Each structure stands twice: as C-alpha cells, then as structure tokens.
Copies of this chain bind each other. A is one copy, B any other.
C-alpha cells in the first residue's frame, strides 16, 4: 500500500520535527481563564502547563465555592488548550504534503 519504507521514515522524521517546533510555538502562547466572575484566574501556556493562579481572598472563607470554581477553571482551561493544540496540529499537518516526494 505504501510506495517504499524510505518515504515513510522520511515522512515520520518530518512529523517529529514539525511536532517539536509546534510544541515550542505552543510554549510561547498563554491562555487565561477566569471563573466566579474573576475570583479565580488561571493562566496556562499552549502546552497546558499552569504558569499562574490567582485566588480572591474572599474565597478563602468559602472552601466549597473555592473548590467548585477551581475545578471549573481548570476544566475550561484544559479544553481551551486542547482545542488550540488540535487547531495548531491541523495547521501543521495541512502544511505538510505526505503525497509529494520529500527528496
């Protein structure tokens, strides 16, 4: 089904390089998510690493609300990061042409 294995390994190498440069690009991006009208603010980079978290003092006296708002912020942030990763990966794959010769 595939022409020859050489093309395939060449293609996979290309994928790996593109994936690494994509990861570097994503590391520079930041996403900020707020919940509870800003009482919790979570900042992540494009690889989903949390780089900052701010909790309003008021929440320190209401642990249940604090936990609920944190769970909401983390899940919203992870969804945003995953969507962005998928779009970036699609953009990357669109740029590559697995059908053309790579030599």
- Partner-B contacts on A (CB < 8 A): 1-3, 7, 48-50, 52-55, 57, 60-61, 63, 66-67, 70-71, 74-75, 78, 82, 98-99, 101
* A96–B56 CA distance with the chains assembled, in angstroms: 49
Q: How many copies does the complex hold?
A: 2
Least CB separation from A70: chain B residue: B53
A50 touches B75 (CB 8 A): yes
B75 touches A49 (CB 8 A): yes
Within the complex, the shortest CB–CB distance from A66 to chain B, in Å, comes to 7
Least CB separation from A54: chain B residue: B67
Chain B residues with CB under 8 Å of A50's CB are: 71, 74-75, 78
Chain B residues with CB under 8 Å of A101's CB are: 1
